């Protein structure tokens, strides 16, 4: 695992994870940035996904192409709105399911942002701890995984510091 401070849309991994809402309406935060850089294909594919399957439940994911991004795919992970309770369990489910979907597509690299720590109100340190511990547990319990690179990516220093602290605690 590697902590990266930067724009997730510029990541050179095969898949990036989008902190999404259940309707896959990419209007704000990370989702808006991914949709803007990735082009209209991402929102169009998202709309089709929801039309076929219905809204994505909290803790679950959908996958679309990466559109014009360098990443082949975008995994849209629906993290919890923190004030509604059960945040840690649902965030862990969103991260675990993202890794499972990447594995199912035989991808070797993934970049994950601090899901639920922005407009969804999750404390940055708690979200970072859940994301790092879930990814560590997944990789440990799935030695057959195709994933070789897991980037924890965020644009702001405070969140990256939270990722670093969680990594020091959990990966030492």
Q: Say if CB 43 and CB 62 are below 8 A apart.
A: no
Specify the pLDDT at position 99: 98
**Which of the residues in the chain have pLDDT under 70?**
84
Within 10 angstroms of residue 99's Cβ, the number of other Cβ atoms is 24
Q: What is the pLDDT of residue 60?
A: 97
Residue-level pLDDT at 95: 98
Residues 6+ apart with CB under 8 A from 131: 91, 95, 112, 114, 115, 152, 163, 166
Rounded CA-CA distance 109/149 in Å is: 5
Q: What is the pLDDT of residue 37?
A: 95
Q: At CA 49, angle to CA 110 and CA 45, rounded to 5?
A: 70
Give me the domains of the chain, ranges plus CATH numbers.
Answer: 2-171 (3.40.220.10)
* Size of the chain, expressed as the number of residues it contains: 172
Note the pTM of the prediction, 2 decimals.
Answer: 0.95
Strands (E), the chain: 2-5, 15-20, 61-65, 73-78, 109-112, 149-154
Read off the DSSP letter of residue 51: H
């Amino acid at each position: 695992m590697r902590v990266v401070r930067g724009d997730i849309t510029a990541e050179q991994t095969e898949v990036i994870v989008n902190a999404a809402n259940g309707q896959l309406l990419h209007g704000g935060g990370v989702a808006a940035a991914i949709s803007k850089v990735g082009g209209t294909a991402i929102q169009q594919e998202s709309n089709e996904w929801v039309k076929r399957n219905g809204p994505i439940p909290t803790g679950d994911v959908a996958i679309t192409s990466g559109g014009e991004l360098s990443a082949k795919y975008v995994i849209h992970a629906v993290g919890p709105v923190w004030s509604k309770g059960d945040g840690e369990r649902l965030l862990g489910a969103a991260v675990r399911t993202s890794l499972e979907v990447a594995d199912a597509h035989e991808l070797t690299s993934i970049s994950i942002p601090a899901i639920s720590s922005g407009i969804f109100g999750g404390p940055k340190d708690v979200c970072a701890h859940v994301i790092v511990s879930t990814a560590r547990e997944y990789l440990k319990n799935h030695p057959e995984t195709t994933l070789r690179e897991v980037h924890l990516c965020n644009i702001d220093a405070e969140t990256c510091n939270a990722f670093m602290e969680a990594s020091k605690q959990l990966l030492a």
